[in-house]
Each structure stands twice: as C-alpha cells, then as structure tokens.
Amino acid sequence: MNFKLKIAISLLSTLLFLSCGGGGESSSHSTQSSTPQKLQPPKEGIYFGAFPDFGGSEDIVTKTRVKKFEKLIDKNLLWACFSQNWYSGVEYPQKAIDEISSQGVVPYVRLMPRSDEEQFHSEELFTMQNIIDGKFDKELHQWAIDAKDDGTPLLLDFAVEMNGEWFSWSGVFNGKGTKNLYGDPTYYDGAERYRDAYRHIIDIFREEDVRNITWFFHANINSQPNEEWNQPKYYYPGDDYIDWVGVSLYGAMNSEEDYWESFEEILESRYQSILDISDDKPFALLEFGVTDGNPLGDKAEWLSGAFETILEGDYIEFSAISYWHENWEEESGAEATIRVDSSAESLETFRRYVADETFVSEAQFGSLSR
C-alpha cells in the first residue's frame, strides 16, 4: 500500500476513534472544549441580567422565579445570579445551576464564605486565612471538578462587596490597615488576605483545568469605612486572575432613610475608585436599585436617571448591568422596596428602558486574554 495512503487511513481512523469518545478517558472531562468559555463583552450593546428574587437567603433558585421575572419585565435575562452560601455546604450547586440554565439563562454564582446570614461580625470558620491555609481545598477541588464535568458556562464571584463593613471577609475583620501581621510588609493586611484567598481559589480551579468559568471581582461603590486601606483596588487579585470588574450601586434603601442621591450623583462622586481597579477589564454594574416610598425622592425618576446615565456611559462604560429585584424588612422595621414592581410607575419605567435594543440577552463566549 502507498505510504501516503497508509498515513491518511491512520489519521482517519484516529479521528473516528476520538469522535466516538475514544482515547481511554470515560469521564465527561473529555467533552469540555479546549477553548476557555469566558463571557466576552458584547460586540454591541450592554448585557442585561438580574437577581430575580431568589429569597432572603439568595439561594431559593427555581425556574419559575426566573420565568416570572422575565414575564414581569417583558425581557429575557442573560444571567440570573444567586448566592452559594457555604453554611449550606461548600459544594457545586448542581440543582440551582440546572434550574437557571434550563431556561436558556447563564447561571451567575456568588461564592459566599459565611456561617450565617447575620452581618457586621467576624467569621470563625470560613475565614480568609483558613482559605489561604487550604482548610477547604478538598471541597474546592471537588467543586471545580464538578463544574468541569457539568460543562455549563458559569459566571463566578467570590465574597462580594469586600470593601463594605457588613460582610465578614471585609478588611475591617481581617487586619484593617496593618501591614506587618501577614504577608507583604508593605501591603494592607486586610485587603491582602482577601486578595490571596481569592487567588488561592482560582489557582485550584486552574489546577483542575476548568475552562467554563468567568471570574468576576465585585466591589461596592462606597468604601465603608472610606479609608485608604479599604479601597477596592487593594483587594483586587489582578488582571491575570480576573475576567470582569463589577460594582454595586444603591440609592436609599428604605422609606425611613434620611438620604437621597440620584444614581448619577453617586456614580460621579465615586467612580474613580472603580476605574482604579483595572485598566483592561470590562466593567459590570452587578447590583443596583433604590427603594420606593422615601419622601426625599421618587423611585421612577431615580430609575430613569440611572438608565440614562448607564446609556450615556460618561463615567464608566458598563458592558453589563444586573438589577437586584427583592424586597425585605430592615431591622428597624422599615421596608426596603427594591423590586421593580414596587409601584406601577417604577415597573413601567423599568420595562420601558430595558426594552431598548441596547440591552441584550444573548451571551458571547470565547477566550479572553490574561
């Protein structure tokens, strides 16, 4: 037989063998694309996602809630975010991911290293130092393996709003402005511990060669306390770890709050601290909202101003936005009415703006440079 013909037959046989699942690997690892499935910024427009009221624990995920929210606003979601609370187990949330992805929506998972839902206190178990020291490596490796086996493109976020004082992973509870009690003696300990914990988690996923995850860094527009050591740029794991940079921006949170600023006023006075995080990454507005019924301002007007500011892009050019659709009762008893349907006027305003063709619901996945 001709030598070239032999080579051609051999190559054809190999291709057929691999296409039929050969190669000696029976797990679904072999089905994952070798190309990273990273969420790319849209070529045109702004991605539209939301937290579609998955409950106060943020993890009551059902396809019904996704569909109900989409019907309410007459708009499809690109992503739906929920919290994977570690007090329920540091394990891959398969059911929640299936509920969301079955609706053609991308699951956005917020890894929340907390033992309870109470705020303004330190954490005893899921500390940044324990994560750095590898106390949860076994669980995190399994999480990564399960994500890889599942193959669903995921958006992941670790320990949100770290520059606020309400969550236990804040620098407030992890060293504040000291520099000589952990790591680099020239770096703020509180932010450095967070940064290193996040890097440690991503390194574990890289060890498992997980390619279907887009990593978000999620700061708050207000650093509380507003000290130099608590600025979001110090918490940032770095451009070689993170794919997108995000921010939360809320107006007044309840009807009794003696405060009212428009979306633009808040963003104009604080946007530079977000731009300081990275020069290269796409930006996302990962949470925003305002209460109804506050005598100092009108929610529908606030929402209208927010969307106009987003569309103009004068301060930050957002490549994605995500509304926080939920109501809750504050400790004072005041109602935080953030849901888009807290009034007919608010709902009408919200629906009118998200109907703009600028806000898109189709994801574009592919490689992102590191």
Q: What is the pLDDT of residues 352-370, one digit of tens each?
A: 999 999 999 999 999 875 4
Q: Taking the complete model, does pTM exceed 0.85, yes or no?
A: yes
Residue 30 has pLDDT above 90, yes or no: no
Neighbouring C-beta atoms of residue 326, cutoff 10 Å:
17
pLDDT band for position 32 (50/70/90)? low
Whether 320 maps to a domain, the answer reads yes
Whether 23 maps to a domain, the answer reads no
Q: Is 365 helix (H, G, I), strand (E, B) or coil?
A: strand
Quote the DSSP letter at residue 168: T
Q: For the chain, what percent of residues have pLDDT higher than 90?
A: 88
Q: Identify which of 280, 338, 342, 358 has the alpha carbon closest to the alpha carbon of residue 47.
A: 358
Decide: 269 and 308 in contact? Cβ < 8 Å: no
Q: What is the pLDDT of residues 55-72, one digit of tens each?
A: 999 999 999 999 999 999
Whether 28 maps to a domain, the answer reads no
pLDDT band for position 33 (50/70/90)? low
pLDDT band for position 36 (50/70/90)? confident
Burial of 13 (0-12, 13-18, 19+ CB in 10 A): exposed
Whether 8 maps to a domain, the answer reads no
Whether 11 maps to a domain, the answer reads no
Domain range for 120? 37-366
CATH number of the structural domain spanning residue 200 = 3.20.20.80
The total domain count for the chain is: 1
Whether 29 maps to a domain, the answer reads no
Q: Identify which of 204, 195, 209 has the alpha carbon closest to the alpha carbon of residue 239.
A: 195
Beta bridge partners, 217, equal: 245
Full DSSP string of 295-359: TT--HHHHHHHHHHHHHHTSS--EEEEEEEE-EEE-TTS-EEE-STTSSHHHHHHHHHHHTSTTE
Whether 138 maps to a domain, the answer reads yes
The whole-chain average pLDDT of the chain stands at: 91
Q: What is the pLDDT of residues 181-208, one digit of tens each?
A: 999 999 999 999 999 999 999 999 999 9
Phi, psi of 104 (to 5 degrees): 75, 20
d(CA 321, CA 283): 9
Whether 9 maps to a domain, the answer reads no
Q: For the chain, what percent of residues have pLDDT higher than 70?
A: 90
d(CA 139, CA 60): 22
